[in-house]
């Protein structure tokens, strides 16, 4: 394998499984940047369906604490996860900047509550670094990498992997419409 091919393969693995990285030099990715607990995160813009202001949710009994509940979005029942609680970033406050990012993950609709949305950021492969290895003390399985944008560092999430993980308890049943009896 040539050095260029090896470099391309390494960068492709950094972009993450399921990402739109084609492996060509100069391929860029766009990420929606948002704040959670004072840190800036990013998700692939192609996974974002819409951004909404935070509104009250219907709580689901026995759901994990980070699953705030569900909303009815034009006839679709959408589970809402508060990333601030999921990532254990203190007690969340809900104000005029708090938003819900509605995601479309392989036809599965879900939403995440974040502190605020900042912008859409374009990253070139050379701007993305693999997540550091923290050993077993910090779980980085949902981090694609770290994006360097000027003097900012963007934590790039594999939002599909995070939202479909077993611990999220988000099953297809949330998006199903009940069958009339």
Residue pair 51/100 in contact by the 8 Å Cβ criterion: yes
3-state secondary structure the chain: CCHHHHHHHHHHHHHCCCCCCCCCCCCCEEEEEEEECCEEEEEEHHHEEEEEECCCCECCCCCCCCEEEEEEECCEEEEEEEHHHHCCCCCCCCCCCCEEEEEEECCEEEEEEECEEEEEEEECHHHEECCCCCCCCCCCCCEEEEEEECCEEEEEECHHHHHCCHHHCCCHHHHCCCCCC
- Look at 11 and 154; give whichever has higher pLDDT: 154
Domains of the chain from N-terminus onward: 29-173 (2.40.50.180)
Q: What is the pTM of this model?
A: 0.78
pLDDT > 70 fraction of the chain, expressed in percent and rounded: 74
User: What average pLDDT does range 44-56 have in this prediction?
Assistant: 96
103-115 tens-digit pLDDT: 999 889 999 999 9
18-34 tens-digit pLDDT: 343 333 456 899 999 99
65-95 tens-digit pLDDT: 999 999 999 999 999 999 999 988 888 999 9
pLDDT at 11: 41
């Amino acid at each position: 394998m040539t050095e260029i091919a090896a470099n391309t393969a390494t960068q492709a693995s950094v972009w993450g499984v399921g990402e739109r990285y084609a492996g060509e030099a100069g391929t860029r990715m766009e990420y929606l940047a948002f704040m959670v607990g004072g840190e800036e995160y990013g998700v692939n813009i192609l996974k974002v369906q819409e951004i909404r202001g935070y509104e009250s949710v219907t709580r689901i009994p026995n759901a994990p604490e980070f699953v705030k509940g569900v909303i009815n979005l034009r006839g679709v029942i959408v589970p809402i996860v508060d990333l601030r609680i999921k990532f254990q970033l203190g007690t969340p406050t809900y104000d005029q900047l708090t938003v819900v990012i509605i995601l479309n993950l392989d036809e599965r609709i879900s939403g995440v509550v974040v502190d605020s949305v900042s912008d859409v950021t374009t990253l070139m492969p050379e701007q993305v670094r693999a997540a550091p290895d923290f050993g077993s003390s910090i779980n980085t399985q949902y981090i694609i990498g770290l994006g360097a944008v000027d003097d900012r560092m963007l934590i790039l999430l594999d939002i599909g992997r995070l939202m479909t993980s077993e611990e999220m308890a988000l099953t297809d049943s949330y998006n199903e419409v009940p069958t009339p009896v």
